[in-house]
Structure 1
Amino acid sequence: MSELFNNFSTLIIFLHLISAIIWIGGMIVIRFAVHYSMQNIEDPKIKLGRTLENLKRFFSMVIPSIILLLITAIIMILALQLKESELYKYAIAKELIWTVMTIIFIIIYMKRNKAQKAFDNGDFATAKNHLVPLAKYLIPTNIVLGLIAIILGITLRGY
């Protein structure tokens, strides 16, 4: 792992950072830009349809980012021998945060799929009920956790 990291450290760190940017930045954009702009749409069917489409497109970028984050994190932990370092606790904390964020993302993904099924069946109230917790609780929670993980990553980068 050390040789892999030594030969490709810039690429590995870049992939790790761009994946975090896509995930966290995407959530910030979805929650604080797209969500509020969607409130101007009066027709509930159009609003729900666009929300579902936006989330679907977001997921197509985020799922590879989550996988890439995990792979690059493992490479860096092993290559930099963080297990033997006093900074290992930060690496573990960061990975725990990413794990919680991934679990929340899976919940978001499942709720979006349930909302899509309800929407496709013409049950707009149920679709909306599946989506409300995403904007209210789940995405904001992941944004906060992601920002904490970034701070921990900056701490680790000092290594």
Structure 2
Amino acid sequence: MLQIFENNLAALIFLHVISAVIWVGGMIAIRFAIHYSMQGIQEPKIRLERTLENLKRFFNMVIPTIITLLVTAIIMILVLGFKGTSLYSVVIAKEIIWTVMSIVFITIYVKRNKAQKYFNEGDFTGCKKQLLPIAKYFIPLNIFLGLIAIYLGITLRGF
């Protein structure tokens, strides 16, 4: 079974890298482009509604990439035989980072769903309270961690 992946290593690495780029790049776009453009919307209800919709669409886009990252990482660890090499500590560091990022993502997902519930009930203050730490802390944290993980991935490729 691993022979199939060994024969298609470039495709496997491509899937892994493009998944990381979509996840981290998507967060950068949301935080530094979409977030600031949303601030120009004067009506709070519309701004909250658009923010909730943007996050929902983002989740639909990145959940498959997060799963792809996990699966391709496991396969690459097995196929490339990192265990027992000097690079294995880098592999472990990446695993830790992606795990923390996934936990943060789940936190964002839960907070967004709570915000949607508050919004549906007409509690815009409660909605905003759930959304604020997403933009202020969680997405910037995941961007930072994601960039480190991408850099470590380049290290693993020997560049």
The yes-or-no answer on 1:38 pairing with 2:38 is yes
Return structure 1 stretches of 4+ with deviation > 6 angstroms: none
TM, length-normalised to structure 2: 0.98
In structure 1, stretches of 5+ residues that fail to align are none
Q: Which residue of 2 aligns with 1:118?
A: 118
Aligned to 1:135: 135
CA–CA distance in structure 2, aligned partners of residues 122 and 76 of structure 1: 47
Whether the 8 Å CA contact 1:26–1:58 is kept in 2: the answer is yes
Cα distance in 2 between the residues matched to 1:149 and 1:61: 20
Structure 2: state its 5+ residue gaps: none
Aligned positions, number: 159
Deviations 1:61-85 (A, max 9, x none): 1110000000000010010110021
| 2:24 aligned residue | 24
Q: Does 1:148 align with 2:118?
A: no
Alignment correspondent of 2:64: 64
Give distance in 2, aligned partners of 1:49 and 1:157. Answer: 42
Distance in 2 (alpha carbons) for counterparts of 1:6 and 1:72: 12
TM-score, reference length from structure 1: 0.98
Report the aligned-residue RMSD. 1.0
Distance 2:125 2:63 in 1: 28
The CA distance in 1 between the partners of 2:40 and 2:91, in whole Å, is: 42
Structure 1 CA distance for aligned equivalents of residues 88 and 41 of structure 2: 48
